[in-house]
Structure 1
Amino acid sequence: MTDILSLFATRLYRAKLSEHGKPVDPSELEASCLTIAEDDAAGQDWCEANEFPGYTSYASLDDLPWRFPIFADLVKVLDAHVAVFARDLSFDLGDKKVMLDSLWINILPEGGIHTAHIHPHSVISGTTYVTMPAGTSAIKFEDPRLAMMMASPGRSTDARDELKSFFYVAPDVGDVLLWESWLRHEVPMNMAEDERISVSFNYRWG
């Protein structure tokens, strides 16, 4: 009898923030993101110097949970989601924990993109979605084996999700996505007139 297995799974977690812990008000979170972006001169300067579209606090602010209570509330909820995902991944953590390493704001205007990247030195990465205007970008994930496929043919358009070379997720406001930090991903061009706002984060082991 023929037996075909799926091996070495790449897991992608998707849930509503409200599934674990105290709900976070998206309108308050949006207002906080916009206020921080307006006041963060160092972040604005970094984005301009590096030709980064829109705004990110990644290179300028590393203490958002201390500055705004809503981000402290958000981290408590994210901690619960990450703990669920870590159990699903069957991580043997020993006497250590998976804990927050960094958290930052992304504001992507019309025409802005986030090119493909990974998150080195982290274990679990993710994003929660604050403002997702109609027609804005999905997030695109890349098969981590792609560089090793060499002479392999492409996949058919009706291939099952787990066999596709690229997988797109169109999150809703209030969603949280989690993945292992080695998984390459990108945000294609925002085709909506309004800004796409999200909060991304990394968790490390230790």
Structure 2
Amino acid sequence: MADISSLFVTRLYRARLNELGADVDTDELEASCWAIYEDDEAGQAWCEKEGYPGYTSYASLTDLPWRSPIFAAVEKALDAHVAAFAEELEFDLGDGKLVLEDLWINILPEGGMHTSHLHPHSVISGTTYVAMPEGTSALKLEDPRSARLMAAPPRKKSAREDQRTFVYVKPVVGDVLLWESWLRHEVPMNMAEEERISVSFNYKWEG
């Protein structure tokens, strides 16, 4: 009988943001996202100039945990989750540690999408979900081997999740998802009438 192993596995971490002792109120977080959006004229201008659907604070604000206590609480919660994920990945961090590099708000309106991308120069990336109206888009993850599949036939529609070329993950409010930053991902078009709100982030290795 053949011995078939799974090698070079891609890990996806999913948990509740408050699972490791944190106490982040998602209603307060949503209200803070809207308040920051309304005040962030530079961010709104950048989104309009770049044709970015909805709003992101990525290009305008780099100090959300300092600016708002609720975001400081989010950072503290994420630190615990990222440490747990790093342990699962068996990283040898030496005398260094993984530290928050970027944290930003995403407000995606009906018809908006975030096209396929990855996050260079960081180690762990992820998102925590603030508002997920009925019918909004899932997170789409791409098999990192896609560029090397060459002449491979497509996978069966009934293929196991770990054999699929694309995997769709449907998070709910209060979830946090983590993945290694080289994993290509996207947010398909938001088909809901209400805004999809999330907070995304990157962690880097700092010695």
TM over 0.5: yes
1:121 corresponds to which residue?
121
2:13 corresponds to which residue?
13
1:78 corresponds to which residue?
78
2:37 corresponds to which residue?
37
1:107 corresponds to which residue?
107
Tell me the percent identity. 71
SS in 1 for 2:130: strand
CA distance in 1, matches of 2:171, 2:161: 17
CA distance in 2, matches of 1:131, 1:152: 38
**How far 1:23 moved relative to its partner?**
1.7
2:156 corresponds to which residue?
156
1:50-89 mapped onto 2 (5 Å cutoff): 50-89=50-89
TM-score by length of 2: 0.99
Deviation track 1:78-121 (CA, whole Å, cap 9, x = no partner) reads: 00000000000000000000110000000000000000000000
Contact 1:56 1:104 (C-alpha < 8 Å) held by counterparts: yes
Runs of 5+ unmatched residues, structure 1: none
CA distance in 2, matches of 1:16, 1:149: 34
**How far 1:21 moved relative to its partner?**
2.5
1:142-181 mapped onto 2 (5 Å cutoff): 142-181=142-181
CA distance in 2, matches of 1:143, 1:173: 25
**Aligned letter for 2:167?**
F
**How far 1:35 moved relative to its partner?**
0.4
Deviation track 1:17-56 (CA, whole Å, cap 9, x = no partner) reads: 1111222000000000000001100000000000000000
Runs of 4 or more, structure 1, over 4 Å off, are none
2:185 corresponds to which residue?
185
Contact 1:55 1:107 (C-alpha < 8 Å) held by counterparts: yes
CA distance in 2, matches of 1:150, 1:9: 20
**How far 1:2 moved relative to its partner?**
1.4
CA distance in 2, matches of 1:190, 1:21: 32
TM-score by length of 1: 0.99
Runs of 5+ unmatched residues, structure 2: none
Once the two structures are overlaid, the 10-residue window that deviates more, 123-132 or 20-29, is 20-29
Contact 1:21 1:76 (C-alpha < 8 Å) held by counterparts: no
Please tell me the root mean square deviation across aligned C-alpha atoms, in Å. 0.5
1:197 corresponds to which residue?
197
**Aligned letter for 2:78?**
L
CA distance in 1, matches of 2:18, 2:69: 17
Deviation track 1:141-188 (CA, whole Å, cap 9, x = no partner) reads: 000000001000010001111110000001000000000000000000
CA distance in 2, matches of 1:145, 1:107: 30
Deviation track 1:49-85 (CA, whole Å, cap 9, x = no partner) reads: 0000000000000000011000001100000000000
**Aligned letter for 2:67?**
R
